């Protein structure tokens, strides 16, 4: 552990964010550049029922844990989440 570098993500640090693509809903995927270059990512989280995406944690902790605040808000906006596609499909597709 002494040789490992631990970094706590700051979703508001615009200088460290890099654009890695576009979400199916149209928003930019801005993620922490350190995460894009890391050999391994660890997420400290818990699993519980999620109000529109099945369960929290898992693959959702990677996106939410490494993205910018703007990307997270775009992914969680009310217009997108109230689509006519049965849940959890929209969010599931976003984080795949």
For the chain, 96 residues long, the average pLDDT of each consecutive 10-residue run is 83 95 86 90 77 69 86 72 49 52
Separation between Cα atoms, residue 92 and residue 74, nearest integer Å: 14
Tell me, yes or no, whether 6 lies in a domain.
no
Predicted local confidence at residue 89, as pLDDT: 45
Q: What is the pLDDT of residues 17-34, one digit of tens each?
A: 999 998 877 889 999 999
Structural domain count, the chain? 1
Torsion of CA 20, 26, 69, 64, to 10 degrees: -70
Tell me, yes or no, whether 86 lies in a domain.
yes
Predicted local confidence at residue 17, as pLDDT: 96
Range of the domain at 69: 17-95
Q: Can you give the pTM of this predicted structure?
A: 0.67
Predicted local confidence at residue 38, as pLDDT: 87
Tell me, yes or no, whether 11 lies in a domain.
no
Predicted local confidence at residue 13, as pLDDT: 95
Predicted local confidence at residue 81, as pLDDT: 55
Separation between Cα atoms, residue 46 and residue 52, nearest integer Å: 16
Chain centroid, CA 45 distance in Å? 13
């Amino acid at each position: 552990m002494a040789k490992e570098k631990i970094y706590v993500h700051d979703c508001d640090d615009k200088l460290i964010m890099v654009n890695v693509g576009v979400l199916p809903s149209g928003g930019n995927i801005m993620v922490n550049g350190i995460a894009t270059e890391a050999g391994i990512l660890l997420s400290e989280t818990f699993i519980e029922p999620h109000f529109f995406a099945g369960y929290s944690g898992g693959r959702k902790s990677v996106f939410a844990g490494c993205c910018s605040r703007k990307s997270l808000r775009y992914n969680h906006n009310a217009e997108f989440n109230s689509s006519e596609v049965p849940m959890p499909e929209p969010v599931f597709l976003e984080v795949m």
